[in-house]
Amino acid sequence: MKTFELPKSISSLASQLQIVQMVWQNVAVQIPKFAVYAIIEKPVFHKVVIRRGRKIGLLTLSRYTIPVLDPFRGDIDFYPNYALIISHSRGNCFGLYGYPADHIELDKQLSATNGAVGKIVKHYL
């Protein structure tokens, strides 16, 4: 098989991982940008439900109902500044869920050779 050099316009996709860094309760969490479906500022939950002993906020957007859960397994009991909506798939099934955030930084990148890259992407592939 013949190999080609990537065009400069997309070569950064292979050499760097773009990340979205969210801060929740003074803890930074890095999410690969390819997994981020949307960022909602000042989300308003349609309702709060209890599942497995945890309060989870539900956002209703168009035909989707999206659960927003605390990434640290706590309860959602107030309105965060942001909801970071993440897409995931298993087989042929697609789903959305969200994390609350106090602050979001969009323009972060890591070199593809950085040791943290594998840990960051493993839950989203």
Q: Could you read off the pLDDT of 76-120 as tens digits, one per residue? A: 877 899 999 999 887 888 899 999 999 999 989 988 888 888 888
Q: What is the DSSP letter of 34?
A: G
Single-letter amino acid, residue 60: T
Quick one: which of 88, 26, 76, 8 has its CA closest to 47?
Answer: 76
Runs of H (alpha helix) within the chain: 8-15, 117-121
Residue 123 tokens read as: 């839950």
What would the 3-class secondary structure string for 59-82 be?
EEECCEEEEECCCCCCCCCCCCCE
Quick one: which of 16, 19, 58, 20 has its CA closest to 39?
Answer: 20
Whole-number average pLDDT of the chain: 86
Residue 74 CB contacts under 8 Å (≥ 6 apart), including other chains: 25, 54
Residue 18 tokens read as: 């773009």
Q: Is 71 in a helix, a strand, or coil? A: coil
Question: Rounded to 5 degrees, what are φ and ψ at 74?
Answer: -95, -170
CA distance 24 to 71: 8
Domain boundaries, the chain: 8-111
Query: Which pTM was predicted?
Result: 0.82
Q: Could you read off the pLDDT of 8-66 as tens digits, one per residue? A: 655 566 688 899 999 999 999 999 998 999 999 999 999 999 998 999 999 998 888 99
Model pLDDT, residue 13: 62
Model pLDDT, residue 11: 57
